[in-house]
Amino acid sequence: MENIVDTHAHLDGEEFVSDIDEVIERAKSQGIGKIFIPAINAKSLDSVPALCRRYPGYLYPMMGLQPEEVDDDYLDVLAKMHAELVSDSSYIAVGEVGLDFYWTREHERQQLDAFERQMEWSMETRLPLMIHCRKAQNELLSMMKPYKDELPGGVFHCFTGNQKEAERYLEYDNFVLGIGGVLTFKSSHLREDLPACVPLDRIVLETDCPYMAPVPHRGQRNESSFVVEVLKQLAESYGVGVDDVAHQTNLNVKRVFGV
């Protein structure tokens, strides 16, 4: 089987400080050939590039302000992030960005403005977007619509929606869906909904570790080596071999990210 890619892993988090070398070795031993690391906040300005420099050619950085991290100081954080993004050619995407109104709409205006600005970064740099969206699909897509033909592409990260929601995202031709551990959960409808409306050439693999570990690791700290469980479940759901899913998702990563 080809080496596969975990397109979304928060390995710079405190959860991995004590054993990051072992986590990386386990990922390599399971055939994970690349891991993409998103920034989420001001602290990420240091932690993401530092970790990626530690594992060159294996970890790849993304730069963005995650919507749940948008606060009253968001313009200052965005200014620093933009400066970092345009000065360092190692970044492969603008992310993690988007909208999240799951818990509160306290900073709705700031979230909307931050997402608008970071879409502009994507068009400026021609780097894809790594998009987080929770309880905000209508607002997100209405913001993206004017730029539909200008955005270079990206990932709708952590997709857990239904067929109708998938079809709305797939109208954005250069974008793919990031599929992670939720696919393996007993309660998930993704095993039926994805094959019904999402071709394999519109999917990439992800963990979102340390969150949402797949079965049989559910409840544990998630890590990149576990993405093989997502691969296996996709193969079963689509009725194809794991080699086919590995090959196609790698092609999708190359198309979207260029790496």
Instruction: Provide the phi-psi class of 94: left if phi over 0, else alpha when psi is between -120 and 50, else beta.
Output: beta
Alpha helix ranges (H) inside the chain: 20-29, 44-54, 74-87, 108-125, 137-144, 163-170, 190-197, 227-238, 242-257
132 is known to lie in a ligand binding site: yes
6 is known to lie in a ligand binding site: no
189 is known to lie in a ligand binding site: no
157 is known to lie in a ligand binding site: yes
For the sheet with 154-156, list strands across it: 4-6, 32-38, 59-63, 93-100, 129-134, 154-156, 175-179, 203-205
Query: Does residue 215 sit in helix, strand or coil?
Result: coil
107 is known to lie in a ligand binding site: no
Annotated binding-site ranges for a divalent metal cation: 8, 10, 96, 132, 157, 208
Annotated binding-site ranges: 8, 10, 96, 132, 157, 208
